[in-house]
A and B are shown apart, each in its own frame.
Chain A
Amino acid sequence: MTDLIDTDLAARLYHLSDGAPVPTVATADDVRRGRGRLRRRRLARVGAGGTTLAVATVTGLALGVPGTQQAAPAPTAQQPPAVQAPQQAPRQVPQQAPGEAVAAKVEALARTQGHAVVRLDQLLAMSSVLEDDFGRETTQLAIGASVTWQGAGADECPAGWDCRDADVADASRAKVASDDTTTQVIAEFPQGVVILSFTTADAFPADLAYRDPSPDPAGLRLRD
């Protein structure tokens, strides 16, 4: 018996495990559970660790509103509007159900704007592409828009950037570009091309892979 332990334990364990009462579980159930957890994480990220997304969205909307330009200076095409880390804007996040509350705030603001470019769920789908790469480390986030895919530079990959295709729900095509500190997602929706930029640096690099060429790059609207 002692020899069996030394020499055959693996074989005996395999033999034992072959008799495990393996249940028949539909793969779709595992996919459904995974989707649910992913959805909860996205909501939590918007509401808590990732308040940057909602805050930036609100900022982006404000930038497009006449009369709010002074409060939020228009960014340059190469340097999209950035917001501070969540801990520097805590009052914008309600204590209870932060994700839903901030989303409602964004939607309410969007309704006052009158017209739409991108939906909140589309922005969330874009941000989810990055959630495994960028989390709480992200210090700044910005949203931009472009009339055309080519105009945003999405057909190219600048030197020093790592570019790849991405899968974003509702987008006809999407790409991700990353360098040492910054990651950008660009997605082409039926309404237009949207760019999300995340960085762990104190400021966005001067030259981003994807750029907003319009004179009013923050003119981004949300709709229901």
Chain B
Amino acid sequence: MRDEEFAVYVAERRPQLFRAAWLLCGDSHQAEDIVQAALTRLYVAWPRVRRADSIDAYVRRAVVNAHLDEGRRPWRREAAAGEGLPEVAVSASAVEEHDALWRALRALPPGQRRVVVLRHWWGLSVEETAADLDVSTGTVKSQTSAALAALRVALADDLTKETS
């Protein structure tokens, strides 16, 4: 029963988890490592999290924790500038916009990036983000503020370069 239910869940949610991991780490190979680690943890904990009806929350935290673990590894992969940019066919202006946001996101410290992804991509509240990251709500607020300020500057600089 565990295998069947787990397989159904993975088939449905794996792409979303990969996208989240990819935004967090900026590298497709590392993102796949993160997703595999998170799903392995989920499989082991499946009976408990299923009974608690908290599968999404558990796997989201597992992704974040796996990203933290990846960051602690001495041999961790650092994405080169431009690596892993979106591969879908998009218009030139969309590419520039993607590119600017991608660079700005990559330039954020990992902690701020996690807050941005949890709050603005996953749509969590300050309290939920604090619980996922095991930090205070004050820390989430300050990191969100700093991240948005940095994104504003980075994207404004990018816009200036593009128009000059």
- Residues on A close to B: CB < 8 A? 1-2, 4-6, 9-10, 12-23, 25, 27-28, 30-31, 33-35, 37-38, 41, 129, 132-133, 167
Contacts and interface: CB of A to CB of B under 8 A. Distances in A.
Contact of A1 (B6, B44, B152): B152
A16 B96 CA distance: 11
Contact of A31 (B3, B90, B148): B3
Contacts, number: 118
Contact of A23 (B2, B28, B152): B28
Interface in B1-29: 1-3, 6-7, 10-11, 14-15, 18-20, 22-23, 28
Given A20-B22, A34-B6, 13 more contacts: A1-B158, A5-B148, A6-B148, A16-B23, A16-B86, A16-B102, A18-B19, A19-B98, A20-B31, A27-B11, A34-B40, A41-B44, A132-B47
9 closest A-B pairs by CB: A19-B86, A34-B43, A132-B48, A17-B19, A20-B22, A19-B88, A13-B121, A20-B19, A27-B7
Contacts of B94: 15
Contact of B36 (A5, A20, A33): A33
6 contacts: A5-B155, A18-B19, A21-B28, A33-B39, A132-B45, A167-B2
B108 interface: no
A33 B19 contact: no
B135 interface: no
Contacts of B84: 21
A38 B44 contact: yes
Q: How would you classify the secondary structure of chain B's contact residues: helix, strand, loop or mixed?
A: helix
A81 to B, nearest CB: 27
A35 B43 contact: yes
B68 interface: no
Contacts of A18: 19, 86, 88
Interface of B: 1-3, 6-7, 10-11, 14-15, 18-20, 22-23, 28, 31-32, 36, 39-48, 84-88, 90, 94, 97-98, 101-102, 105, 116-117, 120-121, 123, 148, 151-152, 155-156, 158-159
A23 B22 CA distance: 11
A167 B1 contact: yes
Contacts of A21: 22, 28, 84, 86-87
B7 A31 contact: yes
Contacts of A9: 116, 120, 148, 151
Nearest to B29: A23
A216 to B, nearest CB: 33
Nearest to A33: B40
Contacts of A33: 36, 39-40, 43
Contacts of A15: 94, 98
A20 B156 contact: no
Contact of B22 (A17, A28, A37): A17
B43 A37 contact: yes
Nearest to B157: A1
A16 B84 CA distance: 11
